[in-house]
Structures are given as C-alpha cells and as structure tokens.
Amino acid sequence: MKSTVTIAVLSGVLLSTSMITPVLAATHKPARMTCEEFTALDDTVKPKVVYWAEGFNRKGKPLDAVIDVEETDKVIPVLVTECQKTPKASLLKKLDAVKKH
C-alpha cells in the first residue's frame, strides 16, 4: 500500500514539476538560479523548484525516478533561511550544502 501511495505521489510531483518547468524556464533558469531569485518566489513555487533540482541534472535531464518528497519538504525552510544569509549564492550549490548537513 505504501509503495502505491509513493508512486501516486511521485507521479503527481513529477507531472506538476514537468508542467511547471516550462513556466520556470521562461522566467528563470532553475539550474542557474540564485538564492535571491529563489527566496523571491511564491511559497507555492519554491517546492517545485527544489523538486526540479532534486529530480533533474543541471542540463534538465531526469536523474532519478524517485524523489523523497517528505525529506525534500523538510529541506525547503532550511534552504530559505540559508539563502537569505547569502542571496547571491547559487541555489543548487546552497541546496547541496544544506543536504550535506
């Protein structure tokens, strides 16, 4: 049952991420986004950017078929706090640093 729920949630996340990716790409390049740009985003968009960063490589190609949504959601508030400290930093580098701690 848990794997079915996980697959359903993952499918929804990937679908919403793939649908939002063109919108983000039109205004921002998530792979090149700064912390300042990330913190300026609406709170409903921030998780989608982090999901994208977790699920795609820096060239926009899929990395993994599985994203741990619960763990990723826990990282977002920490990432926002860290990004506010260094707004000019690369979002992806900051995300990598936050995940290591």
Query: Mean pLDDT score of the chain, rounded to an integer?
Result: 76
Q: What is the CATH number of domain 2-100?
A: 1.10.890.10
pTM: 0.66
Q: What is the DSSP letter of 90?
A: B
Domain ranges of the chain: 2-100
pLDDT at 24 over 60: no
Q: pLDDT digits over 40-72, tens only?
A: 999 999 999 998 888 776 666 666 667 778 888
Task: Using alpha carbons only, give the angle 58, 80, 99 rounded to the nearest 5 degrees.
Answer: 55
> CA 55 to CA 4: how far, in whole Å?
20
- The string of DSSP letters for 3-69 reads HHHHHHHHHHHHHHHHHHHHHHHHH--GGG-BHHHHHHS-TTTHHHHHHHHHHB-TTS-B--S---H
pLDDT of residue 61: 67
